Amino acid sequence: MTPQANIVVIGTGGTIAGQGNAASNTAAYRCSVLGIDDVLGAIPQVSALANLRAEQLLQTGSENFDNRHLLAIGTRVAELLEQRDVDGVVIAHGTDTIEETAYFLHLTLKSIKPVVVVGSMRPPSAMSSDAALNLYDAIAVAAHPSSRAIGTLVVANEEIHTARDVVKNNSFKIEAFGSPYGPLGYVIEGRPRYYRHPSRTHTVATPWSIDALDTLPQVDIVYGYGALEAQTVRDIAARGRGIIYVGTGNGNVAAHLIEPLRDAARRGVVVVRASRTGSGIVLHNGAQPDDEYGWLTVEDQIPAKARILLSLALTRTDVAQELQAAFEHY
């Protein structure tokens, strides 16, 4: 008999730790109230998948997560992955920002051991909750050797997604997770099946290590629209080291906002054009003369993950070409 993998399940809150008054409460319930021991205790079937240890790291909705939460999660996961008797880690997480935490781990962990971030759209108390199966599947994925060396994963609805691509794209439905290029694979009857692997650089091959990070530079996201006032853009640009400007279509910038964003770039604030559309490529020097204006572009990344990537890139360089290269490589 093959020895079981040792998996640590970290609780951070979210709907997967939520509770409603009635089973019919699929969307109205209290978040982040059940401890991870109770969540796991309700799924005795998981003991057939792995030797499990649970720990409660946080107990809050992921809408509250700031850079310190990301650093705290990353630091703890890295400590666990260094332990010889830990084969993988599962993080139970609110679904709202699962894609950001997962991407941050994908870029900063220095281990090939599987790390899976999982949440649920309905609390365990609800009718047809996705909590039990999502967590069961996440543990199955983390425990399986085929999940090693492919970066941080997000499991939902029997699908395995790479942290780089996965996006929450619905506010209430169970089918709320998708990747623009499709999932990496499926998990069925407690076994993952992969059909492709991430092609972009991650984990051990990136220049960022969670061990070397104490803080992250402030990068803000500005959602663009024609009625957005120039002064608002100037005010936001005065605060941090970078701005992800979420333009319409292929990253278009309203005419009256070009000068405030050019000013920001002249003052050393990194301006990156992104798109409101949710998918597709923002072509460098396409809709705008980026090189002339000193702006960068996200390539195909969504604004929330572009913020994470730019924050990390700024810990190592201020050079525009090197920052742009990060968007082409990760």
**Residues within the interface to ligand GLU (CB under 6 A):** 14-15, 31, 61-63, 94-96, 119, 121
* Orientation angle between helical segments 255-266 and 230-237, nearest 10 degrees: 20
Q: Quick count: other Cβ atoms within 10 Å of Cβ 78?
A: 19
Kindly tell me which of 170 and 285 has the beta carbon lying closer to ligand GLU.
Answer: 170
CA distance 70 to 228: 30
Strands 159-162 and 167-168: unpaired
* Residue 15: active-site member: yes
Min CB(26)–ligand GLU separation in Å: 11
Q: Quick count: other Cβ atoms within 10 Å of Cβ 174?
A: 16
Min CB(16)–ligand GLU separation in Å: 6
- Within 13 A of 206's CA, how many CA atoms are on the CB side? 32
Kindly tell me which of 166 and 323 has the beta carbon lying closer to ligand GLU.
Answer: 166
Amino acid at 328: E
Kindly tell me which of 62 and 275 has the beta carbon lying closer to ligand GLU.
Answer: 62
Amino acid at 233: V
Phi-psi region of 229 (alpha: psi -120 to 50; beta: other; left: phi over 0): beta
Tokens of 118: 């999982």
Place of tokens 């997967």: 16
Q: Which of 2, 12, 15, 297 is catalytic?
A: 15
Min CB(15)–ligand GLU separation in Å: 3
Eight-state DSSP code of residue 41: H
Min CB(134)–ligand GLU separation in Å: 10
CA distances from 306 to 25, 88, 323 (A): 34, 27, 11
Min CB(263)–ligand GLU separation in Å: 36
Tokens of 119: 């949440």
Min CB(310)–ligand GLU separation in Å: 23
Kindly tell me which of 16 and 270 has the beta carbon lying closer to ligand GLU.
Answer: 16
Kindly tell me which of 14 and 224 has the beta carbon lying closer to ligand GLU.
Answer: 14
Cβ-contact 7, 90 below 8 angstroms:
yes
CA distances from 305 to 75, 151, 190 (A): 19, 15, 30
Min CB(37)–ligand GLU separation in Å: 18
CA distance 196 to 191: 16
Amino acid at 192: P
Nearest residue by C-beta to ligand GLU? Answer: 94
Kindly tell me which of 69 and 144 has the beta carbon lying closer to ligand GLU.
Answer: 69
Kindly tell me which of 61 and 260 has the beta carbon lying closer to ligand GLU.
Answer: 61
CA distance 117 to 208: 20
Q: Which residues are catalytic?
A: 15
